[in-house]
Each structure stands twice: as structure tokens, then as C-alpha cells.
Amino acid sequence: MANFVGFDDAQTAILRADLEAARQVAADAARIPLDTATLLWEAFGIDGVDPDRNQVDRVRSVYEGFAAGMARATLVFYPGMGNASAAEFDSFPDRTRPNTILVRSSYFLKAPCDRALTLLHHYVHLRFPQNLGSGHPGRDAPALARGPLRVAFDDASRNPYCYEYFARFLRLVEPLCYRQ
């Protein structure tokens, strides 16, 4: 399990639960169910009619690496609420330290399913620290509705938003939203 720095006991307990929820989502996504051809196309630009096995395996290996990757991660409390109009105001990877995610108190105001998806998103950031710019090659904003992301596979396979989209619309997160 990840390291936690600067959180109170309640926040640490929530983060532990969120990490476990995200681990389950990642494990489910790694199975890449056979009926997900359309979603693979939308999220990653993988040909839905004749999926490229190597591409599918690359996506699967990223999801499969969640538990090990987050075991090396350190989550650090970051003061302030952040600007809600910014894309990643409640939490974001620390550009100055490897395997480090900064988390504001506003993170804890989000719904449980959104927190789990956020941790999955940041895990992908930690896995691809060499991504340029904001760390979202080919797409720099979340997709809040269904539809092709139109990101070429090489970018999509390293883009946290693409993994977040696939998991969200596999509806793996729905039980998290109703379990509370």
C-alpha cells in the first residue's frame, strides 16, 4: 500500500479505501471483457473489429500494474482547496518528485467513484513520468460523456484520461457509487 504523508487519520482511512476501490477497478479493467470492442476503440483507438493483440496487451499490462505501482507511491497532503475551474485542482502528480501525488482537502469532497478514478488516473501519470507537458498526450481534459476520444494509440496508451474513460464507461465504478 502507498505511503501517506501529512493526512489526518480520517483522510488516511478514506485514501486507503479509495486505493482498494481503484485496485478493484483496475483489476476488472485488466480483464478487458470481450464485449468492450467499442469502448476499446473510443478510449484507446484500438480497432474494434480486429483488435491488435499487442495493443490490447499494453493496455492490460498498465491496469495490471496498479497495485505494484501504487505500492511505491507516496501521497502527500497539499494545503489549499485549489481552483475548481482547473482540470486537476484537487490532486495531481508532483513534478519534482517521482512516484508522488499531492492531494488537497477538496479531493475528499468528491464522490467515492470519482476518487477511485482519480487515483487510477494518477497511477497512470506515475507510470509514464516521461509524458511531456501536462502529462496527457493527445488529450488534456476528461471526457464526461460517451464518444470516441480520437487519440492515436501511442498517445492513448500513455494518457491517464484514456484509462480513466475506459474504466468509467465499463461501468466498473458504479457499485462504488452505490456502496456507501
| Contact residues for Zn ion, defined by CB under 5 A | 160
Nearer to Zn ion, 51 or 115 (CB): 115
Tell me the closest approach of the beta carbon of residue 94 to Zn ion, in angstroms: 12
- Least CB distance to Zn ion at residue 92 (A): 7
Q: Which residue is nearest to Zn ion (CB)?
A: 160
- Cβ closest to Zn ion, residue 51 vs residue 160: 160
Q: CB of 180: closest distance to Zn ion in angstroms?
A: 25
> What SS3 string covers the chain?
CCEEECCCHHHHHHHHHHHHHHHHHHHHHHCCCHHHHHHHHHHHCCCCCCCCHHHHHHHHHHHHCHHHHHHCCEEEECCCCCCCCCCCCCEEECCCCCCEEEECHHHHHCCHHHHHHHHHHHHHHHHCCCCCCCCCCCCCCCCCCCCCCCCCHHHHCCCHHHHHHHHHHCCCCHHHHHCC
Closest CB to Zn ion among residues 69, 160 = 160
